[in-house]
């Protein structure tokens, strides 16, 4: 399904998709709104049905020079979206939050400044076991990996802690583990390492950092993480030229790896999302230059399945399980007109649960 956002948008950048509390997908994304200028806004698109055959769009924040170049969101305990994003001003890159006041995000709280500076990149957010958002990001200004714990459901403020110092930050992903504590996977592109942070408190004020870099790792692509059937994290990663690999953690803190599985030999794939199914299977979405794939891991095996009729796989940025149990992926394409693209892995051969 191909959807067109407001006519004022000319190219999409960062985007994120979740399943709303009404069972319909909800997308937050950044788009250039004035051709030939750096002006960029944060927008939302609420799908009008489960298949996302049409959307209701809203402009959420158009303040600053570049809004939403990094964005992620989650559905809060109140059933409304909570969006964490970067706003670029003339003097600083700020970490921001928006709390929607209804399911479609037609009304919002005033955007909150969580950090006045820091140049946040690779923003990731999930819902903590205490019902408050927990955030992870790399600060390009301070060369630090941060986590943040929202102080309230609307995340009008948050408390932050840093866990590692490195000079070139890659992908960052945060989830909540089976022990109900935050768990972060991140990559240090300068040192070519893949690392994890296992928080030992709900707010991540205390944590254990572990280097889990596999022997075949080199300039890793974007990774994805979810929870395996044994309750431990399972991570999809790889490198630019050789392997796509699955790392099964040996314990909930991932202080060691129990198994390493190569799932493809060709480089050039990015992992865009890891999810856990109701039956405990792990499922990952991966994008290549021209294709989009779903990888399902079960019974110590992992199998690839193609999405139906997908071209331009490199445009896809995030994925979610739809209300019908099928994985849905969202992507964006550039000017002169901007489009959001929603695809579902809908064939019987692509759905194993």
Asked which of 102-116, 157-171, 226-240, 286-300 is least confident by mean pLDDT, the reply is 286-300
Q: Which pLDDT value is given to residue 324?
A: 80
- Mean pLDDT, residues 42-57: 89
How far apart (Å, rounded) are the C-alpha atoms in residues 93 and 140?
A: 9
Give per-residue pLDDT as tens, 257-274: 998 888 876 556 788 899
- Mean pLDDT, residues 288-302: 75
Instruction: Assess contact for 146 and 163: CB atoms under 8 A.
Output: yes
Is the confidence at residue 84, as pLDDT, over 90? yes
Give per-residue pLDDT as tens, 143-162: 999 999 999 999 999 999 99
| 73 token code pair | 């969101």
Average pLDDT, the chain: 84
Instruction: Assess contact for 327 and 294: CB atoms under 8 A.
Output: yes
Q: Which pLDDT value is given to residue 5?
A: 47
CA angle 125, 126, 130 (to 5 degrees): 130
- Mean pLDDT, residues 194-220: 89
Q: Which pLDDT value is given to residue 102?
A: 97
Q: Phi-psi category of 204—alpha, beta or left, where left has phi over 0 and alpha has psi -120 to 50?
A: left
Select the more confidently predicted residue: 208 or 188: 208
Q: How far apart are the first and last CA of the chain?
A: 23
Domains and CATH numbers, the chain: 2-240+249-267 (2.120.10.10)
| Bridge partners (DSSP) listed for residue 44 | 28, 58
The pTM assigned to this predicted structure is 0.92
Sign for the pseudo-dihedral over CA of 278, 245, 123, 18: negative
Q: Which pLDDT value is given to residue 38?
A: 52
- Tokens 């950092």 identify what position? 209
Give per-residue pLDDT as tens, 51-64: 888 888 899 998 87
Q: Which pLDDT value is given to residue 107?
A: 97
Give per-residue pLDDT as tens, 275-284: 888 778 888 8
Q: Which pLDDT value is given to residue 340?
A: 74
Segments in the chain forming alpha helices (H):
none
Give per-residue pLDDT as tens, 130-143: 999 999 999 999 99
């Amino acid at each position: 399904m191909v959807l067109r956002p407001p006519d004022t948008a000319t190219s999409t950048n960062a985007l994120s998709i979740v399943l709303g509390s009404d069972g319909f997908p909800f997308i937050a994304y950044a788009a250039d709104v004035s051709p030939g200028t750096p002006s960029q806004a944060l927008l939302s698109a609420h799908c009008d049905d489960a298949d996302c055959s049409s959307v209701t769009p809203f402009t959420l924040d158009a303040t600053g020079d570049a809004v939403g170049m990094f964005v992620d969101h989650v559905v809060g305990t109140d059933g409304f979206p909570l969006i964490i994003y970067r706003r670029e001003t003339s003097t600083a890159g700020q970490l921001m939050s928006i709390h929607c006041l209804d399911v479609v995000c037609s009304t919002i709280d005033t955007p909150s400044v969580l950090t006045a500076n820091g140049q946040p990149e690779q923003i990731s957010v999930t819902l903590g076991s205490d019902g408050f958002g927990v955030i992870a990001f790399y600060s390009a200004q301070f060369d630090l990996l941060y986590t943040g714990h929202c102080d309230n459901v609307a995340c009008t403020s948050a408390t932050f802690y840093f866990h590692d110092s490195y000079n070139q930050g890659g992908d960052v992903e945060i989830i909540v583990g089976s022990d109900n504590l935050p768990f972060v996977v991140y990559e240090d592109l300068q040192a070519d390492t893949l690392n994890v942070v296992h928080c030992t408190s709900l707010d991540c004020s205390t944590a254990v950092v572990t280097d889990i870099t596999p022997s075949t790792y080199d300039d890793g692509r974007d990774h994805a993480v979810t929870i395996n059937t044994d309750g431990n994290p399972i991570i999809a990663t790889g490198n630019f030229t050789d392997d796509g690999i699955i790392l099964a953690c040996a314990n909930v803190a991932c202080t060691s790896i129990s198994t390493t599985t190569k799932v493809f030999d060709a480089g050039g794939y990015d992992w865009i999302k890891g999810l856990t199914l109701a039956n405990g299977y792990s499922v990952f979405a991966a994008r290549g230059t021209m294709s989009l794939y779903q990888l399902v891991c079960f019974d110590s095996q992992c199998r690839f399945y193609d999405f139906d009729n997908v071209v331009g796989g490199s445009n896809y940025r995030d994925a979610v399980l739809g209300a019908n149990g099928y994985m849905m992926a969202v992507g964006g394409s550039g000017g002169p007109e901007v489009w959001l693209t929603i695809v579902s892995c809908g064939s019987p051969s692509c759905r194993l649960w």
